[in-house]
Structure 1
Amino acid sequence: MTSEKLESMGEEDVKELLSDFLAQRKFLVVLDDVWKSSSYDKISKILSVLPDVNNGSRIVLTTRDMDVARHVNRRSSIHEKKLLDEKESWELLEKWSFPEYRDVSSADRSRLMEIGKKLAVKCKGLPLALVVLGGYLSRNLDYDIWSGLVGNLDWEARRNDEPFWKIIDRSYNDLPNHQLKSCFLYLASFPEDYVIRVARLCKLLIAEGLIPHRQNRTMEDTAREYIKELVQRCMLQAVERSKWHGSIKSVVLHDVIREWAIAEARREGLFNIWSNPTDCDQALSDSVTAYRVALHNFAGRTEINVAMPKLRTLLVFFNLPAVSVLCRLKFLRVLDLHGLTGIKLLPSGVGILIHLRYFGLKKCGYRSVGVPSSASDLLNLQTFDARGSRIRSLPRFFWDIPTMRHLYLGEVRRWVPPEVGWLGSLQSFYFCEKTQMRAVSGHMTVKERRLAENGNKHIARRNVKKWAALFRALEGMEQLVFLHLESWRTQRRTKWRGRVFSTQLLGSISRHRHLQVLELAGDWLCGVGQLSKLPHCLKKLKLIASEELNKDPMPVLGIHPNLVVLVLESAFKGNGMICHAEGFPRLRHLTFEHVGRLGSWNVEAGAFPSLTHLNLSVSSFPVVPPLGLFHVTSLQTLLLKQHPMDESSICLSPVGKLEERGCEVIIKRLG
């Protein structure tokens, strides 16, 4: 069941679903960071109706409130987390104060250790205080600074006896510039424990004007440097890193640090968080006005318009009932409606938001979203993100917005291709087309079948012309870093008479000097002969469902010098592959998903000198990693996906040899 469907269900329906799912099962339920006893009571009521609750199942609950822990059944055991002792405190502080990326001499390290142990004691065994302080010390490896802290950490709490409040103060004030401080506070506008995608965050920060222009650097690069800086200072936690260059993909802000940042942001007038209409009234009475608002589970409907007509930023983290009211907020620069399921049609007057720089419509429901023609008037728009949403139609001149840098269009039904010379500043382009084809079945009369087939031929010819025009326009988009093109027909049995040829596509991007990520998916893709035209700057290539890769693509792909990630998903129809010596010099991640009946795979010695991760799922039996992999000493992880029909489909002998060499082998059963 999808998360969208769960969100649309009522509480009683969710209870019934959970009860049915857990019935006759042994389960482990973890309730993390529970603040109220009622949260446990709701789960307890569901579990009480199960036919067998004494089958070894367990519930683990974590809380900071001892009253919540005592509220649970008396038979339950309470494990009270102890504070760290002096030795453990110093070990944790030392780890964060002297990270691996800092080159510290033995003499300097020894000189700082004595004073560092005194600072560790002052943290009173609190892990978060030690981590935050360690992040500060790692940026200030100076004996005088460390010594000065011993007398200045007075531990006078600002609230609730939290002794690390002063450490957060000091870490925040130590940030090198005002922009980085604002970026840190901006993170607190997201809900508690919200996993923030760095790509989305960077675009928001740029649209907000919080990222400065630097010579020979893109603002996206500067924004990522800011995020990396905050992670290294332990003010932000990295959740996921990129497979191909190790950069941070997602982050989360610790809830205690977030509370501090919310208070500081409100004091500085950076943003407000509203959960109900009374928050609007409070914002109007504040001495410092904030023109940025994040709505968290907001209960009001039109109060946002009445309260602050000059609002600059609106981040919505719930299902907003009234979308039309947004058009009255004429000064909006950032509007993010990520995940709203109730949107059917954007207001026709959306073009009045001429200051808009970021427009987020990602994953907005099951229904198609209509984009009105007035959207072409958003002449300051930098980012339009509608991935995971269905776009009913796209205005012709929407392509002609000169400031557009990141354009993500998901499941577009009706569209007109851009003209040559448009979107010259585009850095990211995601385009997914779903073509409606008429079904042709044996139950039709001869006349009906002929009409359907002729109609599908007409649609196919028209689509070929549109894609050809798009490819011509791509040639002028020389700033592209990311390109995802996807085209599917809804009637799978309908044959394409006018398939888009890959020659024009790859020819249009062969001279792009900045393109790093290329993802091609759908019913038309490139043949092996055209893969040599891929730009050599490419670092990630993903091919999905190609109908033309019936020849071995590995000899051609292996010569690309900068390729780091390669994914072939249902994209190879051949019987064998060969990877030549010295091929794929920088490839680190290789994935084969459903590549067909792979009869043989020969890996010559010297191939894949940098390979660290291999994911393999094929239809052939048995699944045997090629012997040439034993020459790849860099391999760290091998994931083999096994078909459930054959328990012996994986040959364990060569796998065991890889394990002996230190490679982690994971075997996953499919189905």
Structure 2
Amino acid sequence: MAYASLLSLNQTLDQILHPHDQTEQQPILKSLYEQVSFLLSFLDVSSPQNTNKLRGLEGRIRDAAYEAEDIIESSMSNQIVSESGSHEDRTESHMTSNQIVSEWYQKFERLQKIIQEIHSISDEVVKMRERNELQVLQPSNSSSKSLSTNKGKSVMVGLAHNLMEIKKLLASPHSKLVVVSILGRGGIGKTTLAKIIYNDSLIANHFDVRAWVTVSQEYREQEVLKGLLNSLRGLNHESGEETIEKLAENVFKILKDKRYLIIIDDVWEIEPWNRVKSLFPDNNNRSRIILTTLQSRVAELACRLCDPYHMRSLADQDGWELMRERVFGEERCPPQLNEIGMRILRQCEGLPLSVVLISGLLYKSERTVSYWHYVLSNIRSEITDRDYGILDSVSFIYSQLPHHLRACFLYMGVFPEDYEIRRSKLTKLWVANRFIKPDRSKSLEEVAEEYLKDLVDRNLILVREWSYSGEIKTCSIHDILRDFCLMKAEEEKFNLDVEYLPEVHDNLRQVSILTDLKNQIPRLALTHDRDLRIRSVTIFFHNSPNDIHFITNFRLLRVLDALTIRFEEFPVELVELVNLRYIALTYWMKHRFPASIAKLCNLETLIINPGKFRSIFNTSFLPPEIWKMSRLRHLLFVRSYLPYPTDALKEETFVPLENLQTLGNVINFRWTKEVLDMMPNLKKLVISYEHDGRTEWSSYFFDNFVHLHQLEVLKCFFFAKCYIKYQDPLPVNFAFPQKLKRLTLSGCRIAWENMSIIGSLPKLEVLKLKDHAFEGAVWEPIEGEFSLLKFLLLEVTDLEHWNVDETHFQSLERLNLRYCYNLVEIPSGFGEHFTLQAIELYECSPSVVASAKSIEEEQRDFGNDKFQVVVKYEMSDV
């Protein structure tokens, strides 16, 4: 963590060093800043082949940087808390302020020694470079390659035979329920094979319903049942606080009388299977269950009407084809690399995961014989006695990562096994933890997304779901890689599960809480010196708000992710943790934020989640002081009332929120020119309006949206007050910015004739129209509009006839229709759209379903075998 610790210290120093600040400490801090910048620049260009030579130095760098930042930030924190109090508080804390000065001078001598240590390290680096002992990083040959190069094609390499065998088992003549166990060691590809089967269009069409659930080593029955139920319902239905018994009953009801396919992934013990197997009725209709496991006993006991299927290691030929495609894509492997490549392959022992990881390393590295020999000689150099031999390979691959990616990768160990995290949240966490190096030409979030794509290219992070616009939506990490992250994080003094806190070293920075805290509160009364070092706390267990007061001891905390805990009011004690940059909390009722939240002068991200109770009662009331928090980057709520700045603050000073990129969901807000000037860099906006029958729509200045020049995502929801049956349509002068890529509209009631307002947007890729966003019986698209649109959703509309030919929607990939009760048919013109990949229908008429099937046949006739129609809950003719 040498690079990450230096980068964090560098940003801390950059924040406090100003030309006008000529304090007594300024020269020493400037000297430290120069040395830190030098070491950062050195590590930026240092080749991964220097890892062994720098191992000792990196440990010294990490420890020195950690300690220096602890001293500086603790003094800054005390000063901010002292200065941000009321006049009475400041008077009462006069002695405390003196103590702060005294504390600074006490630590001043220690800081000088740390700087001397960093000077010494810098001198050693200079001498090593003078002796030509260090190599400089060579630019990657693949920096311009596509993120998805060959990934879709090569995923099938070596699995064709397995796929055929499993399909035979699924197609067995037994009308009874058949349970197929896929057995194999870690990294052999069990989950990958199951996913291919699950997503196969022919298999999907054979079953009425499908569901996927992951069990994992840390089995939690309620979570498994919720996952199974949500997968069956298909619309991300929230299952609330239902009991285990109620969840089980709902699963059984859905499956009763249906032909189903269930995938139960990653089962470690037989007990979880014994607990859930009664949920799956034998409908005598060829329903099937696939279970994946590492354990022979589990596979044998779970199987019904067939033997377990043993997955075998890759043959050399298949392994080489997989490696070649992952490294070179459509290019030929240079002849001089063939032999050495095969020798590297054999070190992977036929494990697809190992082949894929090594391929990711070679894909991103220089393609020379000397480097490939270096890989061969080092890939098995770190022998361990751990259960997974593949960890040896992962250790070497980690050592070859560029320094700026290492902390981002190890941070994945914070999350529970098989945890699926949204890209947008992960990048915010990386930014808040200061893992991202600033780039003047890009936002921190844009740089973070580049880091994520790089780790995906290296196959160290898995993409679980892609967005409709082709971006990463959610991601996760393989269990074996997570095991490595936990092992390495402990070695690097990086993160640990809370149950080990009493035994940790003093430099622990990240804490991941996966357990119940009720019986551990006494153990969390950490010493004053130790608590200063905790920078991030992430809670995944459903603890009580009363169980986490210990967090206030962590005075330098940057990240508090406590979405699994339900609060009734904002924990006001958090405002004393002035170093906080990221807060994520869950509320289940209306709540007001205190004015003192403005004391969190470093806060960048504030996320408020409603948990399972999404309703009008999940409303946040923000104070006027929010307009003083200039570092805010992301404000995310389910519903929030944001005070208008000038009305709310009157004579008080407020600042432009120039860093603000995300804002939502705000209620009934007025978008005047003055407000727009305060949010010049807004990229994502979610807004809602309650129509009371009296307020004119024009008073909200919707036409000013066109001046949000950086806006890329906009979601607008309009609905009437409970006492109003229908609201007025929005005015036609509704306008949108030209950079807009994703647009969601609901309840606007605009006539279809005015669709050109949207159709003319040059960069629009995703359009979702909900709850009568547009009204009328007929939609006549105009030729040339929606030229880049990839995804279109129509949900709850009175549309009857929709006239489309081959000149319309020429980039469309997915069409989703929900509750379109009046629509007669899907236009046949979509049958000639060769970009179209899928049509999804939910509660649509039989005639709409029939037209979708006709389009499917036409697409297949044109050779588009990947096209599929997914029908859920077809309406009856009655």
Paired AA for residue 458 in structure 2: R
1:562 and 2:763 matched: yes
Q: Is the 8 A contact 1:502 1:530 kept in 2?
A: no
Q: Give runs of aligned pairs for residues 253-652 of structure 1, distance below 5 A.
A: 253-274=477-498, 276=499, 279-283=500-504, 286=505, 289-300=507-518, 302-303=521-522, 305-307=524-526, 309-310=531-532, 311-321=534-544, 322=546, 323-340=548-565, 342-361=566-585, 364=586, 366-388=588-610, 390-412=618-640, 416-419=643-646, 422-433=656-667, 467-468=669-670, 472-488=674-690, 495-501=692-698, 504-507=701-704, 509-523=705-719, 527=730, 529-531=732-734, 533-547=735-749, 549-570=750-771, 571-603=773-805, 606-617=807-818, 618-625=820-827, 627=829, 629=830, 632-641=833-842, 643-644=844-845, 650=851
* Larger mean Cα displacement after TM superposition, 50-59 or 165-174: 50-59
Conserved? CA contact 2:671–2:701, under 8 Å? no
* 1:43 to 2:276 alignment: yes
TM-score (norm 1): 0.82
Q: Secondary structure at the match of 1:552?
A: helix
Letter of the 1:282 counterpart:
E
Aligned-pair distance for 1:28?
5.0
Matched, 1:120 2:120: no
Judged with a 3 Å threshold, the aligned counterparts in structure 2 of structure 1 residues 525 and 385 are, in CA distance, closer, same or farther, namely farther
- Residue identity in the other structure for 1:405: R
**1:223 deviation in Å?**
0.4
Q: Deviations over 1:600-634 (max 9, x none)?
A: 4355x64433333333453334213154x466443
Distance 2:814 2:433 in 1: 38
Question: Which stretch shifts more, 570-579 or 197-206?
Answer: 570-579
> How much does 1:409 deviate?
1.8
Listed as ranges, the matches of 1:7-406 within 5 Å are: 8-11=241-244, 14=247, 28-44=261-277, 46=278, 59-70=289-300, 72=302, 77-99=307-329, 104=331, 106=332, 109-140=334-365, 141-154=367-380, 157-177=383-403, 179-244=404-469, 246-274=470-498, 276=499, 279-283=500-504, 286=505, 289-300=507-518, 302-303=521-522, 305-307=524-526, 309-310=531-532, 311-321=534-544, 322=546, 323-340=548-565, 342-361=566-585, 364=586, 366-388=588-610, 390-406=618-634
| In structure 1, C-alpha distance between the alignment counterparts of 2:809 and 2:848, rounded to whole Å | 30
Query: SS state of the match for residue 485, structure 1?
Result: strand
Backbone CA RMSD of aligned residues: 3.2
Q: Distance in 2 between matches of 1:625 and 1:619?
A: 15
Deviation of 1:425 after TM superposition, in Å, equals: 2.2
| 1:23 to 1:519, Cα distance in 2 relative to 1, 3 A | closer
Q: Is the 8 A contact 2:567 2:588 kept in 1?
A: no
Instruction: Name stretches of at least 5 consecutive residues in structure 1 with no aligned partner.
Output: 434-462, 490-494
More helix by share: 2
Seen in structure 2, the aligned counterparts of structure 1 residues 601 and 31 have a Cα distance that, compared at 3 Å, is closer
C-alpha distance in 2 between matches for 1:581 and 1:54: 52
Equivalent position amino acid for 2:516 in 1: F
Distance 2:656 2:729 in 1: 25
- Partners in 2 of 1:219 and 1:139 — Cα distance? 23
Conservation of the 8 A alpha-carbon contact between 2:463 and 2:474: yes
1:624 and 1:138 map into 2 onto residues whose CA distance is 44
Given that residues 486 and 521 in structure 1 are in contact (C-alpha distance below 8 angstroms), is that contact kept between their aligned partners in structure 2? yes
Matched position secondary structure for 1:132 = helix
Tell me how far apart the structure 2 counterparts of residues 648 and 427 of structure 1 sit (CA, whole Å). 41
Residue 351 of structure 1 aligns with an amino acid whose one-letter code is V
Q: Which amino acid aligns with 1:585?
A: S
Q: Do the aligned partners of residues 551 and 612 (structure 1) sit closer, same or farther apart at CA in structure 2, a change above 3 Å counting?
A: closer
Structure-2 change in CA distance of 1:211 and 1:474 (3 Å): same
Cα distance change of structure 1 residues 30 and 74 upon mapping to structure 2, 3 Å threshold:
closer
**Range that drifts further, 21-30 or 555-564:** 21-30
Aligned position for 1:459: none
What is the rounded CA distance, in whole Å, between the counterparts of 2:584 and 2:672 in structure 1?
24
Opposite residue 428 of structure 1, the aligned amino acid is T
How far off is 1:579 after superposition?
2.3
Distance 1:631 1:378, change over 3 A: same
Deviations 1:356-376 (A, max 9, x none): 100012xx2543444333223
Q: Which runs of 5+ in 2 are unaligned?
A: 1-228, 231-235, 612-617, 647-653, 720-726
Flag the structure with more relative contact order, 1 or 2, with Cα contacts below 8 A and sequence separation at least 6: 2
Amino acid at match of 2:693: W
Assess if the C-alpha contact under 8 Å between 1:189 and 1:294 holds in 2. Answer: yes
C-alpha separation in 2, matches of 1:152 and 1:525: 70
- Where 1:338 maps in the other structure, the secondary structure is strand
- Please give the secondary structure, in 1, of the residue aligned with 2:334: helix
String of CA shifts for 1:169-188, please: whole Å, max 9, x gaps.
221111122x3101110111
Give the deviation of 1:353 after TM superposition. Answer: 1.6
1:585 Cα offset (Å): 2.7
Q: Aligned partners of 1:7 and 1:591: how far apart in 2? A: 26
Q: Indicate conservation of the 8 Å contact 2:462/2:478, yes or no.
A: yes
Q: Take 1:207 and 1:652, find their aligned partners in 2: how far apart are those partners? A: 48
- Aligned to 1:88, what secondary structure does the other structure show? helix
Q: Separation in 2 of the partners of 1:185 and 1:165? A: 14
The amino acid across from 2:779 in the alignment is: M
SS of equivalent to 2:645: coil
1:38 CA displacement = 2.6
Measured in 2, the distance between the counterparts of 1:304 and 1:552 equals 66
Distance 1:422 1:526, change over 3 A: farther
Q: Is the 8 A contact 1:606 1:632 kept in 2?
A: no
Query: Shift in Å at residue 319 of structure 1?
Result: 1.1
Deviation for aligned residue 1:11: 4.6
Shift in alpha-carbon separation, 1:588–1:24, aligned structure 2, 3 A:
closer
Aligned-residue sequence identity (percent) comes to: 25
AA at the equivalent of 2:714: L
Q: Deviations over 1:170-219 (max 9, x none)?
A: 21111122x31011101111111101111101111111111111121111
**What is the letter of the counterpart of residue 539 of structure 1?**
K
Measure, in 2, the Cα distance between the counterparts of 1:642 and 1:69: 38
What is the letter of the counterpart of residue 313 of structure 1? S
Q: Check the 8 A contact 2:852/2:869 in 1, yes or no.
A: no
> Cα distance, 1:156 vs. partner?
6.3
Task: Give the number of aligned pairs.
Answer: 609
- Between the aligned partners of 1:528 and 1:662, the Cα distance in structure 2 is 45
* SS at structure 1 position matched to 2:660: coil
Amino acid at match of 1:564: E
**CA contact 2:697–2:730 (8 Å) conserved in 1:** no
Name the CA shift for 1:134/1:241 in 2 (closer, same or farther; >3 Å).
same
| 651 and 350 in structure 1: CA distance in 2 versus 1, 3 angstrom threshold | closer
User: Structure 2 length as normaliser, TM-score?
Assistant: 0.64
**Within 1, Cα distance between the matches of 2:785 and 2:284?**
58
Task: Give the Cα–Cα distance (whole angstroms) in 2 for the partners of residues 124 and 652 of structure 1.
Answer: 46
The structural deviation recorded for 1:551 is 4.2
Structure 1 residues 661 and 425, CA gap change in structure 2 (3 angstroms): same
**CA-to-aligned-CA distance 1:500-535 (integer Å, 9 cap, x gap):** 32771231x32222111111112279746324x321
Alignment CA distance shift 1:357-1:641 (3 Å): same
Cross-structure match for 1:458: none
- Contact in 1 for aligned 2:581/2:604 (Cα 8 Å): yes
